[in-house]
Amino acid sequence: MAKTLQVLDTEYSADSVEWCPHDGYQDILLCGTYQLDQSKDTQEDSSAPQTRLGKLHTYKLKQEQENQSLEHVQTTDMPGILDIKWCPSFIDSQSLFGLVNSIGQLQIYQLNEDHKTDFVTSTELGEQVLGLSLDWANRVHNSSDPEISCSSSDGHISICKFHQGQLKCTSNWKAHDFEAWITAFNYWNTNIVYSGGDDCKLKGWDCRQTTSSPIFVSKRHSMGVCSIQCHPFKENVLSTGSYDENLFIWDTRNMRSPLAETKLGGGVWRIKWDSQKSDYILTATMYNGFHVIDASEFSDGKLSVVCHYDKQESIGYGADICYKHSVDSDRQDTKIGDNSSLNFNRTIATCSFYDHVLHLWNFSTSEKSQNKENKD
């Protein structure tokens, strides 16, 4: 069952929402936006490059008895934001996140004691490009100087290292003929980087080797590949999504064909594996809202849609699951790969574009466990 808790106006078009994963800050939510500058000066000069304005909103989740809501903490003006990702773990006791923007930068920020964001450092991804996505390498294997993979509108992938408060780009290569919509690490072997582009190709790269050629190219998606995420709790499991409306689950040891697939009725712009060790997946499904998928039986080729959240009327681009447990008791009950053993209860944030709206909602189900009890 899905229940809308709150609806907020983000002013500019919203395309990214990210919950903080760090202990003590898991009630912090970021929302990134961007919008074309429609000012008079811009409209009069048709030769001027398009300027994209952005706002970074910071919210804090409030819990009063059984009611949850978001409290606004801060809004920061900046170039248009295309993607945000929190560093999976503290770095030198700091809670950090990265974002890529419309002027081709990767920027790093930190969260201060007042839950506000402070700029740390940045680096350029290229000239006259948009930064489109990023991913941190240290989701499974902790690192004090993690790598960050970024994709950009010129089809390039960049690998940057964050070390002692500074960013250094260590490699950059042409990965796709058109926009490189998405990049992601194999969290279990971070020498491997995946990328997806508007050329309809999913590619894998081994950064120990020359990046002049990929280690595989998949054309299984029939349209642009725009979302990739490695399973953070199960090795050799990868999920991908595309404008072709398909969600695929792969065994990374055999990328010839997916293990499981389902069609979601909208382009799969973002994929988020559940942050609390279950096999549920949240997707931002563009023109068809947002979906929660039960992937516990993906090895048997089965993916089941357990929730379709369709309360937002514009393009769904951003979606994330809160790391903070909605129900404390399911901390002990959760078992990796056994969704039937828990009462799935999650706080979710999603955002949509042209209507510039952020939704806070809750999804819960105990149906599977009840069915299991009835069978027993």
Give the separation between CA 293 and CA 229, rounded to whole angstroms.
14
Looking at 75-89, 115-129, 175-189, 321-335, which range is the least confident one? 321-335
Residue 143 neighbours by CB distance under 10 Å: 17
Q: What is the mean pLDDT of residues 212-231?
A: 97
Mean residue pLDDT across the chain: 91
Residue 158 corresponds to which tokens in the numbers above? 């960049």
State the Cα angle at 285 between 282 and 291, rounded to 5°: 35
What is the pTM assigned to this prediction? 0.92
What is the phi/psi pair of residue 152, to 5°? -140, 170
List pLDDT tens digits, range 19-38. Answer: 999 999 999 999 999 999 98
Which amino acid does the sequence have at 89? S
